[in-house]
Amino acid sequence: MTSTIILVIGASFCIVGFGIPLLRRALVSKGIYDKPNARSSHTLPTPRGGGIVVIFSIGIGLVTLFWNDVLLPDGLIVALSFACGLALVSWIDDLWGSSALLRLICQAIAIAGILYLHPEITTGAFPFLPEWGAYLIVATVWIWFVNLYNFMDGIDGMTSVETVSICAGLSLVALTGILSDDIIPPLAVIGAASLAFLNWNWAPAKIFLGDVGSIPLGFLLGWFLLKAISEGSWAIALILPGYYLADATLTLLKRAFRLEPIWQAHREHFYQMPISQNVPHNIVMYRIIIVNILLILTAVWLIPINSFMAICTSIMIILILLRDLSQLGK
């Protein structure tokens, strides 16, 4: 069984590694580019849609694990099915555009579907609330996470690095026994596919993930984080994606306070501030990688000792990063 898991992980990496250059040529031949505008963090037209291969690789990998009777978390294949549906909707948006309302409705349908089929995530996360209240909170938080994952996909390497970091963090925590270890194989598949894509998305990016990649990845990782919450591990779900949660939420609140449309593209995220000062993408990403490593170590080492101490430590680490990003290049 172990050899099967290793082969599937390796295959997921190779599918992306060999598939991306083929997809890139096809996108270039069709003229499917992300063209720079006033709100962009890049300066050259870049092919968009790499998420097609990434999600395909993840889907093949997880289904193969399932067919080979590898123990997987209950509900994962259902979550994968809805994620693939969101990938299709997002690819249509990448190609022709669609309204924010339509995208939210599709995300809400996907989330409602999996919560109906597998309500244990909801009841486990908020056992002290009435059922309707738990459903409402979980759905709202999940939709927010899916969209912030898309909002934060704004510079080269960002989403790949964050995906690999969350997958590695959850897997390491599972090895300590705090979480069920059945999450490790699927997280390894997702992490391997994202790591392979990073080779093509690191600055200067040769291809972008697109909504077709960032939306379903946010959906799947949101499912894993909610599963951690349902097992009583609130601290883990807050710490591992802590930088994303802080940057996206604080930026949204700032724009909402100024009565600016929160759904419109902009360049006000903390990670975008140094880019606007002509700081190279990789300089910003190295800082985020270091902070993600520190957050993983905090989750693995401090949560077993004291969850409150782990959360406070993580907040300090994130605040230092946010201040550094806001001052970098000035």
Q: What is the pLDDT of residues 155-214, one digit of tens each?
A: 999 999 999 999 999 999 999 999 999 999 999 999 999 999 999 999 999 999 999 999
Contact present, 326 and 270 (Cβ < 8 Å): yes
Domain count, the chain: 1
Residue percentage of the chain with pLDDT more than 70 = 98
Domain of residue 147: give its range.
2-327
Cα gap 126→120, rounded to integer Å: 10
pLDDT at 39 over 70: no
| pLDDT tens-place string over residues 119-144 | 888 877 777 778 888 899 999 999 99
Whether pLDDT at 28 is above 90: yes
